[in-house]
Amino acid sequence: MPYTINYKRLYTFAATVSWLLLVINSLFVNQESYPETFQENSNFLGRLFKVSFIAFVFLTQRASVEAYRGSDFIGYLWKLFIRAGSTAYICGLFFFGDQRLSKFFTPFQGLLEVIYFISFAFLTYFLGKAFYIWRNMILFQKTRALQYEWDWFEFLIYASLLGSLLGLRLLNYIPLLCLMVLYMLFLSIHLRWVAYLTATKKWRSVFLLTGILVGLIIFYEYFEYMLAQHQLIIDFFYDPFLGLTCLFVAIYTLISLLVAIFNLPTSSVFEQKREDLLNFQRLSQSIQQGEDEPQVYNLMFHSAMNASGADAAWLEIINEASQSSIIEAENVDETVVTQIRQVLDKYQVSSVEYVNNNLDHNAGFKALQLPWRSLNVIPLKSQKRTYGTLYLLKDIEQGFDRESINVIRTFTSQTILTIENLRLVAESLQNERYKEELKIASSVQESLIPKTFPSDSWFEISCYSQAAREVGGDFYDFLQLNEDRIAIIIGDVSGKGISAAFHMAQMKGIFHGLMQDDLQPVEFMVKANNALTHCLERTSFITAALYIIDYKLKGFFFARAGHCHTLYYNSMTEETFYFNTEGLGLGIIRDKSYSKRIHNMHYDYNPGDVMVIYTDGIVEARSANQDEYGEERLREMLSKHYHLEANDIKDAIINDLNNFSSEIIHDDQTLIVIKFRNDQPNLAL
């Protein structure tokens, strides 16, 4: 703050020069060496230098105290007591020193006057600092009206400097003096800062205010003594400006001291209320502060103990499995807890709010010979569930009054609200995290499903796949084994979500790994089942069907592992039928006996034949009446549209399916339509 510091230095320099001129004028006024012009105007010059000195000292303090900020009121008092009040005690030393030395010899007049001027400087400094520190205290939590009232008071005080300059005895005008005293009393009632002191700080303030008041008395006694004893030429203490500021400092100090003393008995009550409010605030801000449930319970436990003045307590929390456990305990052991709980259970009051302010009047508690006389049981419950119970004990009768019980209820209610909010926040974060994981899994699954199939002149193929949720369990894939053979797999992983996507990725790896050996469908299923034994959980399985189309043989091999029956249209016989082959899903049987549950099939195709493979989401789709789409309706659709291109057949089936189910998907849907042709192969990926 360079602006303030520069003015402060300027005022300090001007005050120092004024004081030196004042001393010189006073010491040389009766000397022949003093110029005649100054000699003639020495009284006016003395008043001028004095007024200048006082004004600049006060302006210096005004600039200094402006830098004080905050509500460290004890710090303000310490600054006043240490920096300015100590000057009064130095004057006290001058006072006692002069008294002792006067008994033995007459002090040198010039030395006395210099000491007197130094004491005058001390007094001015003391009053200036006290005046502006009291201003800061008065204007604590100020209003516009209060600021206006203070500004007027400060203006009137400074205006009294004219009286000092002109040598007027303003203090002798009793009505004017009375009005100023009333104004000072009016300003001195603004003592809001006292209410913010703790009991300990109030004691400190009493000590410091007493010291400041004593300092003021020392100054008064000193100047009274010096004037009476040595007949000094200048009466500084009765200067109008200094007199008024001295009155103001004395009045505000005295009223502050009395208010601090009278507030001492009620300090503990206000401190407790303030501590309760802070604890309420901490509980309500637990979420923002990143605290967890144990920290909230800990805060509530100690806040309740502190608010009620309990001598012992414990807190029991009920977990998700409805098991109760003690998470906080103080001044009570587990054996006593068990005994008290048994008595409460016997009286069936362990789960309700219960207050007993005289345990000795109850036979059950009296038999325990407890060191406590009062018990308060407060369940922590909301409308939906009970979180736990708080037990408080005091070693006096009638220990829990209505006020403390209400405060504890508020603590427990706020705790329950905070806990529920913490859980909602955690659940929200978990949902967000789950959505993000689903998004990643969906992206991974999307990358696993082939976007294009091989196109050649032997067959045409069209695919449709729609997941019921973000991540589905259906999958399909192909692998060109050689120039004459292509493998196509379709499957359905049990379950949905991230685990299904993970198993789908495993199945894709198994398919590409095993089919490098050009296995027959049954061999593949057996080995795939063996591989999945080490991957799938016991509760998971995969249904699949593997087709190996052989162009050279004009037929296809296939095996069904619990998957949907293959729908087929034979162009030669113009029949539409299902291959009702047997086969068990992968991962259901995890030993060698699985090979007996899977069968290999071969079928020669004709040009114009159509094969439809699908997942159960197609045939198990439901209408608004909960009717299933069914295999028969699917077969009828193929019978009607077998003559179309594969893509048109697929569209016809899907459109019919959507009309049937009103486009509401309950399960993943995958449909692959393959139509065979009688052309030479011309494979292109």
Name the token pair of 17. 């020069």
Give the DSSP H or E segment for 479: strand 474-480
Phi, psi of 48 (to 5 degrees): -65, -45
CA distance linking residue 551 with residue 596, whole number of Å = 29
Q: Are 49 and 164 in contact (CB under 8 A)?
A: no
Per-residue pLDDT tens over the stretch 649-683: 999 999 999 999 887 888 888 999 999 887 554 44
Residues 96-153: tens digit of each pLDDT: 887 777 777 666 667 777 888 888 899 999 999 999 999 988 988 888 899 999 999 9
Q: What is the CATH number of domain 449-676?
A: 3.60.40.10
CB 376 within 8 A of CB 315: no
Please give the pLDDT value at position 684.
44
Check: CB of residue 451 under 8 Å from CB of residue 476: no
Residue 431: how many other CB atoms lie within 10 Å: 10
Residue ranges for the chain with pLDDT beneath 70: 1-5, 30, 34, 69-70, 105-109, 230-237, 283-290, 454-457, 470, 495-498, 679-685
Q: DSSP readout, 381-429? A: E-SS-EEEEEEEEESSTT---HHHHHHHHHHHHHHHHHHHHHHHHHHHH
Domain boundaries, the chain: 71-264, 270-425, 449-676
Distance CA 627, CA 382 (A): 43
Cα distances (Å, whole numbers) of residue 657 to 578, 621, 622: 19, 8, 9
Q: Do domains 270-425 and 449-676 have the same CATH topology?
A: no
pLDDT at residue number 532: 84
Rounded distance, CA 206 to CA 308, Å? Answer: 29
How far is residue 344's CA from residue 346's CA, in Å, rounded to a whole number? Answer: 5
At the fourth CATH level, which superfamily is domain 270-425?
GAF domain (3.30.450.40)
Q: How far is CA 673 from the centre of its chain?
A: 58
